[in-house]
Chains A and B, each alone.
Chain A
């Protein structure tokens, strides 16, 4: 196939506006008669709360304070509707939004926010997902903290391990990661003359935002318009709702433009994180270096809300084998609520955590078998026609062997640099 445009490194169409600073991000937008807003957030991880906004409302420059009472349907979420637009009687994580203070200036909003009285009746929290799975643990939502359990069963692992001469058994953990995009959350909302409610934000999925705004505020979707400004990085953290409904509610109620801009610390508190995982692995290979069996138990900490937990732990479970043919596989992955900051989508979506375990297992097995890290991988990788542990046939475009070959070609060069005499390294010459 001869292609004319696909395959060419044309200059990206948004390059010029971005490198010259002309590209508009939501915090760059100013409208006449615009109000500002600040979000009051929970300071404790688990508590019953009572809110008193009366004094705050009397502060000069404060126009309105929105709480759960103002939201027609106080729930949202990408899978389960377990997020509140504003916490009503309970907070489940630090940073959960409680009130949205709208005022004539940012100072007025801060002043108002400081005068809101929140009475916290603290509850025992749970911060370790393994603890959270136990029966007697504090519960974050409902009767159980276990949101999801994915089971993968292929072959017979007991039989498989019998054929193994090398077995690696280890537990690995990964931590929470922030997306740390450069542009913290910001947005602006306003009413158009025909009654259309407009929310301009930097988002990954404007149609989803529109749907949630319309659903929670009980509006027709056609009466809501989401404008996606330039997006200063996302990486998964702009999938859940953060400011969208707050802004929409304020503009709709006050019929004036409303703007909110987060600082970095608030951004850390407002959006999701990468799921920390506990990954218990047992992997075995036969005397010829072929993988025969793998068993894994993976527990992901979803924090206070579900967000994408099911999909993330499902993806972790499906990818638990790594890109290897293993005839006997048993995987159990779990998503669990805790009172930690909620976790959700982040680049790699559960498949990023897994190889930190699975790939170290491969090297451990290689060492036990006395073969090289390349050899154990070349023997076991997926090729065209391979079947994954879920029974899926990889019919085409499986060039992992070619990826590995490229590295094999460069290995000697790497080895040469590795084996540079120690003295030279110590002197810091290289």
Chain B
């Protein structure tokens, strides 16, 4: 028999290294030949979209087209340390460093523009699309390209740094502010449990994720789909069959990952509530998108079948056993 159930899961997730450990990101911004701008930052692209997000934050801060920005994040001899691409920290931490570096870069260029344009002050200068001009008299204008030619022997490169704030917890009570910021989410799934085979199939899902502000909504939704699939595999399929230190399932023919046949079209809902300490309000979401799906599936399995699974993963064998035990206890 096939039985259906709905389940909920909600979670929170603290980002950053945490617990008072210095969590520092650095970024450098340089005026390149031809007036393009280079951002040199150790934000590794692991597929999450760090390069694109850092360019977007940079383009926003520099008020220029993202296509005129070149980002270098691959070579330790060319960039400063921006911490690891982990802990859901790149958008918030390194995003802040990039934004600060770009703001410092603008200030530097304003100082140069003041000299080049023969002004008394930098007040009222505007940076826009690779030009610097005076708002009240836009004819006073110089392009990044011209500046790059004038200063080609004197590299214009500035640094921006950001250190996240956390408070180490007390050893005895655990009191402190271990992570900042926190990110929140909620997921609802509809599953179908086949009581003859123990298989669980996902039919429908809605997933709401707080992002502070979405730097790139498509990338956010991509992360949400990926996190969902990873959690689906964790909850229902992936089993290393570990016994006495031996992983029996250590190839993809035995370690079952979800495929496109198992994945469903998740309705991803982006919730924006900007965080004032974040770059343009954006919080990281790389890890939290993996968290509430499993619990929602587990609660849906119970709603469908009346069986609670206390031990992951919910393989068909395990679910069949639990269903049989539950029938037997009802019969008594």
Choose the segment among B116-124, B154-162, B306-314, B321-329 that binds chain A (4+ C-beta atoms closer than 8 Å): B306-314
Nearest-neighbor residue (CB-CB) of A358 within chain B: B295
Establish whether residues A5 and B188, one from each chain, have CB atoms under 8 Å apart when the complex forms: no
**A residues 149-172 in Cβ contact with B at 8 Å:** 150-154, 170-172
Q: Within the complex, which residue of A264, A358, A410 is in contact with B252, where a contact is CB–CB below 8 Å?
A: A264
B330 at the interface (CB under 8 A from A): no
Q: How far is the CA of A66 from the CA of B5 in the complex (A)?
A: 57
A22 at the interface (CB under 8 A from B): no
Nearest-neighbor residue (CB-CB) of A269 within chain B: B250
Q: How far is the CA of A411 from the CA of B216 in the complex (A)?
A: 28
Q: Within the complex, which residue of A12, A227, A418 is in contact with B6, where a contact is CB–CB below 8 Å?
A: A418
A interface SS class: loop
Q: A12-B49, A207-B42, A399-B184 are in contact. Are A359 and B9 (CB under 8 A)?
A: yes
Establish whether residues B84 and A204, one from each chain, have CB atoms under 8 Å apart when the complex forms: yes
**B residues 84-125 in Cβ contact with A at 8 Å:** 84-87
Q: Chain A 389-430 against B: per-residue CB contact (8 Å), 1 yes, 0 no?
A: 111101011111011101100110011011110100110001
Establish whether residues A125 and B247, one from each chain, have CB atoms under 8 Å apart when the complex forms: no
Q: How far is the CA of A335 from the CA of B213 in the complex (A)?
A: 35
Establish whether residues B188 and A414, one from each chain, have CB atoms under 8 Å apart when the complex forms: yes
Nearest-neighbor residue (CB-CB) of B205 within chain A: A414
Establish whether residues A173 and B311, one from each chain, have CB atoms under 8 Å apart when the complex forms: yes
Establish whether residues B210 and A397, one from each chain, have CB atoms under 8 Å apart when the complex forms: yes
Q: How far is the CA of A226 from the CA of B87 in the complex (A)?
A: 21
Q: How far is the CB of B249 from chain A (nearest CB, A)?
A: 9
Q: Within the complex, which residue of A13, A264, A265, A382 is in contact with B184, where a contact is CB–CB below 8 Å?
A: A382
Q: How far is the CA of A9 from the CA of B221 in the complex (A)?
A: 10
**A residues 358-386 in Cβ contact with B at 8 Å:** 358-360, 363-364, 373-374, 377, 381-382
Establish whether residues B173 and A173, one from each chain, have CB atoms under 8 Å apart when the complex forms: no
Contacts of B210 in A (CB 8 A): 397, 399-400, 402-403
Q: How far is the CA of A1 from the CA of B63 in the complex (A)?
A: 13
Establish whether residues A127 and B245, one from each chain, have CB atoms under 8 Å apart when the complex forms: yes
Q: How far is the CB of A215 from chain B (nearest CB, A)?
A: 14
B305 at the interface (CB under 8 A from A): no
Q: A180-B257, A396-B276 are in contact. Are A341 and B247 (CB under 8 A)?
A: yes
Establish whether residues A410 and B188, one from each chain, have CB atoms under 8 Å apart when the complex forms: yes
Nearest-neighbor residue (CB-CB) of B175 within chain A: A391
Establish whether residues B184 and A400, one from each chain, have CB atoms under 8 Å apart when the complex forms: yes
Contacts of B214 in A (CB 8 A): 7
Choose the segment among A100-108, A113-121, A230-238, A283-291 that binds chain B (4+ C-beta atoms closer than 8 Å): A230-238
Q: Chain A 200-229 against B: per-residue CB contact (8 Å), 1 yes, 0 no?
A: 000111111010000000000000111111
B151 at the interface (CB under 8 A from A): no
Establish whether residues B190 and A414, one from each chain, have CB atoms under 8 Å apart when the complex forms: yes
Contacts of B56 in A (CB 8 A): 5-6, 8, 10
B172 at the interface (CB under 8 A from A): yes
Contacts of B188 in A (CB 8 A): 407, 410-411, 414
B143 at the interface (CB under 8 A from A): no
A352 at the interface (CB under 8 A from B): yes
**B residues 196-223 in Cβ contact with A at 8 Å:** 203-204, 206, 208-210, 212-219
Establish whether residues A323 and B11, one from each chain, have CB atoms under 8 Å apart when the complex forms: yes
Contacts of B77 in A (CB 8 A): 196, 225
Q: Within the complex, which residue of A7, A175, A352 is in contact with B291, where a contact is CB–CB below 8 Å?
A: A352
Establish whether residues B44 and A12, one from each chain, have CB atoms under 8 Å apart when the complex forms: no
Establish whether residues B273 and A6, one from each chain, have CB atoms under 8 Å apart when the complex forms: no
Establish whether residues A175 and B292, one from each chain, have CB atoms under 8 Å apart when the complex forms: no
B2 at the interface (CB under 8 A from A): yes
Q: A152-B174, A231-B46, A399-B273 are in contact. Are A12 and B219 (CB under 8 A)?
A: yes
Establish whether residues B178 and A238, one from each chain, have CB atoms under 8 Å apart when the complex forms: no
Contacts of A314 in B (CB 8 A): 18-19, 169, 178
Q: How far is the CA of A426 from the CA of B214 in the complex (A)?
A: 42
Q: Within the complex, which residue of A269, A345, A358, A364 is in contact with B86, where a contact is CB–CB below 8 Å?
A: A345
Establish whether residues A204 and B85, one from each chain, have CB atoms under 8 Å apart when the complex forms: yes
Nearest-neighbor residue (CB-CB) of A303 within chain B: B245
Q: How far is the CA of A363 from the CA of B1 in the complex (A)?
A: 24
Q: A170-B310, A207-B42, A407-B186 are in contact. Are A349 and B273 (CB under 8 A)?
A: no
Establish whether residues A360 and B298, one from each chain, have CB atoms under 8 Å apart when the complex forms: yes
Choose the segment among B28-36, B131-139, B233-241 that binds chain A (4+ C-beta atoms closer than 8 Å): B233-241
Q: A340-B242, A352-B290 are in contact. Are A6 and B280 (CB under 8 A)?
A: yes
**A residues 1-55 in Cβ contact with B at 8 Å:** 1, 3-10, 12-14, 45-46
Contacts of B66 in A (CB 8 A): 5, 10
Selected A-B contacts with CB under 8 Å, 8 pairs: A94-B247, A175-B312, A205-B86, A231-B45, A239-B84, A402-B273, A418-B5, A420-B4
Residues of B within 8 A of A (CB): 1-2, 4-14, 17-19, 42, 44-47, 49, 51-52, 55-57, 59-60, 63, 66, 71, 73-77, 81-87, 167, 169, 171-182, 184-188, 190, 192, 203-204, 206, 208-210, 212-219, 227, 230-231, 233-235, 238-240, 242-247, 250-252, 255, 257, 267, 269, 271-276, 278, 280-283, 286-288, 290-292, 294-296, 298-299, 302-303, 308, 310-313
